[in-house]
Amino acid sequence: MSFSDLKKLLEQKGIEISNARLSYYANGKRKPKDKNIWIEIAKVLEVNLQDIIIDIDYFLSINQENSVKNNVKKSGNVKSSEANALSKELLSLIDKNSPSELEKVYRYCSLVSNFENLSKAIDKAGVMILVSSGENEIKKPHPAIAEKVKVNAALIKLDEFFEEKRTSKPKNSGEKDWSKFTK
């Protein structure tokens, strides 16, 4: 397939790209700013992403970044716009080529989703629940409360990592400050 053919197929998906740029990517002379272009190229070519990305670290970073975005989108518990804003902010703070830093973003977003699920369970059943004990019923605190405390502790620990990234990031980098969504 020629670069012109690939360009036409990508244009059908709404991706505008030049033949020269495709040539640079194919020859490893440049990498696209938006790593999702690789995913779209793989879809258009009907191949696996690993078939067109030779650098294993770069492949893993694309895969993990895509996984983070998909998991945030799947989270129907946090408002979609807030989840996207949160993931964008966290992704802007990290080195996207670092699998461990991408994993922290995924974990943070997942914990936020879990926190919201636990809140919904408590809202639905109440703070106190009835538990059967033989022939008696005993009122006990909802077990999700203890789980929320654990999730909150994990979020606070990860917040320390992201706060360190925020303070080390140069001011006036041209990016919006999304920190209000994580506090």
The mean pLDDT of 102-114, rounded to a whole number, is 85
Q: Is the pLDDT of residue 75 over 80?
A: no
Whole-number pLDDT of residue 175: 56
What is the reported pTM?
Answer: 0.53
The 8-class DSSP code of residue 14 comes to T
- Kindly give, in sequence order, each residue whose CB lies less than 8 Å from that of residue 15, ignoring residues fewer than 6 positions away: 37, 40
Q: Of 161, 163, 121, 165, whose CA–CA distance to 144 is shortest?
A: 121
Q: Is the pLDDT of residue 73 over 70?
A: no
* Per-residue pLDDT reduced to its tens digit, 138-183: 888 988 899 999 989 999 999 999 999 988 876 555 555 555 555 5
* Per-residue pLDDT reduced to its tens digit, 18-47: 999 988 888 888 888 777 788 888 888 888
